[in-house]
Amino acid sequence: MSATAHIDIKKTADLARLRLTAEEETAYTAQLERILEYVGQLDEADTASVEAAAHPHELFDVMRSDAARPGFVMEAALSNAPRRSGDQFMVPKVVE
């Protein structure tokens, strides 16, 4: 991290699956570089012997029995589909 943080906005938007306009690219680049400059102050925290915390509490694997349980009926699962065909979600063609 450094005070002159630079963000490759086109690459990052591509990774995020977001198509940005030229105006958005300019605006976000300036805003995000300012935010990155601010978060750069984390460099001042001494974390040499500190474990990373992904979560507030100690976490253990939570298991449940491998048994059938009631779930969504198909009609409920499909009820908000942008496009459907019968019992399936429709998407643009994936294979040639």
Binding site for another protein (CB under 8 A): 1, 7, 9, 11-13, 15-20, 24, 28, 31-32, 34-36, 38-45, 47, 50-57, 59, 62, 64, 72, 76-77, 79-83, 89, 91-94
We find the least distance from the C-beta atom of residue 41 to another protein, in angstroms, to be: 6
We find the least distance from the C-beta atom of residue 66 to another protein, in angstroms, to be: 14
Let me know: does 25 contact 9? Beta carbons within 8 Å.
Answer: yes
Residues in the chain: 96
Q: How many CB atoms lie within 10 A of CB 79?
A: 10
